[in-house]
Amino acid sequence: MRSWLSVTLCCAVLVGGCQSTTGSTSDQTGESGLPTVSASELPDEARQTLVLIAQGGPFRFSQDGATFLNREGLLPPRPAGYYTEYTVVTPGEFDRGARRIVAGDGGDHYYTADHYASFREVTTQ
Determine whether 85 is an active site residue. Answer: yes
What is the three-class DSSP state of 36? Answer: strand
* CA distance readout (Å), 86 to 80, 111, 125: 17, 10, 22
Determine whether 115 is an active site residue. Answer: yes
Q: How far apart are CA 33 and CA 88, in angstroms?
A: 23
Do the Cβ atoms of 82 and 102 come closer than 8 Å? no
13 contacts: CB under 8 Å, gap ≥ 6: 39, 40, 47, 48, 50, 51
Backbone angles phi, psi at 110, to 5 degrees: -135, 140
- Give the active site residue among 31, 41, 115, 121: 115
- Give the active site residue among 41, 85, 109, 121: 85
Active site residues: 85, 115
